[in-house]
Amino acid sequence: MRNHISYRSGNPALQSSTFKNHIDSGETMTLDGTVNKVSISLLVLMGTAMYTFTNPSVPIMIFGAIGGFIVALITIFKKHLATYTTLIYSALEGLFLGGISNYYATQFEGIVGTAIFLTFSIFIALLIAYKFKIIQATENFKLGVFAATAGIGILYLINFIMYFFGSGISIMSPHNGGVFSIGLSIFVVIIASLNLVLDFDFIEEGAEIGAPKYMEWYATFGLLVTLIWLYIEILRLLAKLNSRR
């Protein structure tokens, strides 16, 4: 068992102080309980995503994006509410993902199915690699992923600000099939994937130190944040590759 909390994650939902003030003597967090909650949350997300994918609506998609962001902030700052907010977050993000997936599907045939397959394939492969200690979340590993994730976040923020002034960073456009643009997307997908390893480590650590039961929902929320980011980045990468044809 780990004798201290040393977690460092690029995921804004899962930071080093997450467990420190959330340990009590009641019912505790378990791996099985977290797995069950992840499964339920993914089913909810896929259900609402299917709705907006087959019934595309920009207002509903925007509602899902904004609503999901607000619920995410509430969950991060009020972790004990994760028991109630995680499924709400899943449903709202599903509305957003279904809409954006429909957009990509109309542009590039077959891209959505491929993105879903790759997302879950990466998830399962890294879970197996972590389970058998092929990949270990060492302190240097955590620091490297954290630094890279922070850098990507700054790049996103700059592009977001430039977008409102009528421009943007060209290599971040999903329609830019240039070598540097594709290279950036590959790098982002790799970093998003490695964040999954930190999420697995977070869940394992929470179970080991006896975090309260509601932290199963919070850990589920954090894992969803990473999976959603990974899926969107894979979509962007596939779109760029298809743009070269």
Query: SS in 3 state form for 145-197?
Result: HHHHHHHHHHHHHHHHHHHCCCCCCHHHCCCCCCHHHHHHHHHHHHHHHHHHH
In a domain, 100, yes or no: yes
**8 has pLDDT over 60:** no
Tokens standing for residue 46: 């896929």
In a domain, 1, yes or no: no
Instruction: Measure Cα distances from 29 to 119, 128, 136, 196, 201 in Å.
Output: 26, 21, 22, 19, 14
Write out the residue range of the structural domain in which residue 129 sits.
31-243
**CB-CB contact of 2 with 203 (8 Å):** no
Whole-number average pLDDT of the chain = 90
Mean pLDDT of 103-110: 93
In a domain, 220, yes or no: yes
pLDDT at 20: 53
Q: Tell me how far apart the alpha carbons of residues 244 and 208 are, in angstroms, rounded to a whole number.
A: 48
Beta-carbon count within 10 A of 125 CB: 14
pLDDT at 226: 97
Q: Tell me how far apart the alpha carbons of residues 78 and 42 are, in angstroms, rounded to a whole number.
A: 22
- CA 42 to centroid of chain Cα atoms: 12
Choose among 50, 10, 27: nearest CA to 229: 10
Mean pLDDT of 53-78: 96
What pTM value is reported for the model? Answer: 0.88
In a domain, 18, yes or no: no
Tokens standing for residue 130: 């972590």
87-122-125 Cα angle (round to 5): 110
Choose among 143, 135, 146: nearest CA to 201: 135
pLDDT at 26: 67
Q: What percent of the chain has pLDDT over 70?
A: 89
In a domain, 165, yes or no: yes
pLDDT band for 2, please (50, 70, 90 cuts).
very low
In a domain, 71, yes or no: yes
**CB-CB contact of 237 with 174 (8 Å):** no
**121-178 residue pLDDT tens:** 999 999 999 999 999 999 999 999 999 999 999 999 999 898 878 788 888 888 899 9
In a domain, 236, yes or no: yes
**3 has pLDDT over 50:** no
Tokens standing for residue 195: 């964040």
Structural domain count, the chain? 1
In a domain, 140, yes or no: yes
Q: What percent of the chain has pLDDT over 90?
A: 80
pLDDT at 21: 53
